[in-house]
Amino acid sequence: MTHITDFSAYGFNRIIKYKGVFDFDGLYKFVRKWLTDRDWDFFEIEAKEKPPWIIYKWMAFKKITFYAALQIKINFRVWEPKEVIILKDGQKKKMMDARLKIDLSGAQITDYDGDFEKSAFLKKVETFLNAYVLYHENLLKYFDYLDYYMHGLMTEIKDYLGMETASNAY
């Protein structure tokens, strides 16, 4: 049975809040490129410009095996954006002065094609696999992999914004 384990339900989502001047267009392209360069399928679920908010909701999807896939959800929310022009490296550049909130959350999807839904016996086989055979694999191979991927993405976003806590020892 297709099962989605949303790690944000266990408190494993990450929230970045920033207030200041930043290049929103550049950030948009940077995050998208970061995901596509690492072979994630990228989907823009929602793009809403409703003053004083700008809301973007993205989803990135990656198949790991025939049984498991990973999903990252990125929600951007910008409050009260104002366009400003600053001088950077001797050139005029358009930036945005606003409050930004980025919510990163991940999920693991098992049996995304519904192969184990064909009969009651296969469903029981799947339950046994997840509970006993693949228990540590689910934790170490999928959850850990996704968790540290998201740490990397979070650090790259903070580095792009020039935040002081853009550091990752992992």
Q: How far apart are CA 60 and CA 163, in angstroms?
A: 24
Residue nearer to other proteins on the CB measure, 3 or 19? 19
How near is the Cβ of 73 to other proteins at its closest, in Å?
16
Among candidate residues 36, 38, 78, 37, the one with its CA nearest the CA of residue 57: 78
Selected binder of other proteins within 5, 6, 8, 16 (CB under 8 A) = 16
In sequence order, what E strands does the chain have?
3-6, 14-22, 41-50, 53-63, 68-88, 91-110
Binding to other proteins, residues 63-122 (CB under 8 A): 99
Please work out the total of residues on this chain that contact other proteins, with binding judged by CB under 8 A: 26
Cβ-proximal residues to 20 (8 Å cutoff; 6+ apart), any chain: 97
Binding to other proteins, residues 139-158 (CB under 8 A): 144, 147-148, 151, 154, 158
Binding site for other proteins (CB under 8 A): 11-12, 14-21, 99, 144, 147-148, 151, 154, 158, 161, 163-170
